[in-house]
Structure formats: C-alpha cells, structure tokens
Copies of this chain bind each other. A is one copy, B any other.
Amino acid sequence: MTIDPDAIASLALRLFAENGYERTSMEDIAREAGIGRKSLYRYFSSKADLIWGGMEPVIAASGLALEVARDVREDGGGLMAGLRAAAVAGVAVIPDLSVSRGRLRLIAEHPELASRSYASLAPQRERARRHLLALGVPDDTAGYLCAAYLAATFEAWMRWAAGTDPDPVPYLLAAVEVLRLPGA
C-alpha cells in the first residue's frame, strides 16, 4: 500500500471544509489517512503545507516562464511582457481549477495561511528579481517591483478565488497592470 501525498492533501482539504481549518488537527488527518502523525509530517512539513503544497506546481511553472522569457530577451515593452507571461503561466498547469479555488479560498479566509504567501512566494520573488536584474533594472527598483508584482498577483488569485469566474487570467493581467516598469 503505497502512500499518495495528493490523496492525503485532498483528504485534508475535505476535512478542513467539513470541520474548519483550525478545528482539524494533524492527528485527525493522520487518523483519517490511516497513518501516524509523524508519517504525515514526513510528507507535509507543516499543516499549512497541506494547502500551500498543492500550489507549488503553479508557482514553479510561473518561475519557469520567467527563465524562458529571459532567453527570449525581447526588449522594449519586453519587461512587462515577461512578467505578464509568467503571471499567467501558472494557470496552464492547474489540473482542476475548482480544487485550486478551494485551496485559495481557504488561504484567503485564514490570515495565518495568507501570511504564508510571503514565504511561499519568496523563491518566485527571487527569480523575478534576477530576471529584472538581468534585463538591466537597477537593484533597488527590481526589489520593489518584485515585491509589488508578487503581492498584486497574489491578490489577483485571492479575488479570483472569492468569485465564480472560471478564468483567472484576466485577474492576473489586471494585477500586473498596476506596475510601472522603467522605460515602458
């Protein structure tokens, strides 16, 4: 009987929906999954990871899109184009939008989980920073831009999750639009 982390995560998501996030303990989840609490921690390093872990492919895809955009190295309005492409790239790798919406709603409703966005998106922020630096953006501007970029796109995901629109792309594009890039 091989253990499937995805199955455990969706099981946890169900328990959270039924009983509430903070009223569901890691022990409850472990029991329901038929494993020990310690084993559960081997697959998910924290309770928040049960939720945020599922968003990782989305974040990774977005990061990959940035690397690709850097190679293309289009200049002119290319700065914006790269960030836009990266913001939207995550959408394509989501297998089931409604599941992701469930995760994001949970995140939106729990400040403790939403706060984790800062840490969860840190690698992505760093990638974006290097991307901008490589394109000649000054260090401080790149730092501020990336902070703003990730906060705005995260807010876009939150807003999409709160509603019922099927497509998150317009939200993400609108979010990127509040940025002012140098020389654009």
Binding site for B on A (CB under 8 A): 111-112, 114-119, 122, 140-141, 143-145, 147-152, 154-156, 159, 171, 174-175, 177-181
Contact = CB atoms under 8 A, between A and B. Distances in A.
Query: What 6 A-B pairs have minimum CB-CB distances, sorted nearest first?
Result: A151-B151, A148-B148, A180-B180, A147-B155, A147-B151, A148-B152
Nearest to A180: B180
Given A143-B159, A174-B140, A178-B180, A115 B111 contact: no
**DSSP majority for the A interface?**
helix
A175 B144 contact: yes
A111 B117 contact: no
B119 A116 contact: no
Contact of A156 (B112, B122, B144): B144
B111 A141 contact: no
A122 B111 CA distance: 9
A155 B115 CA distance: 15
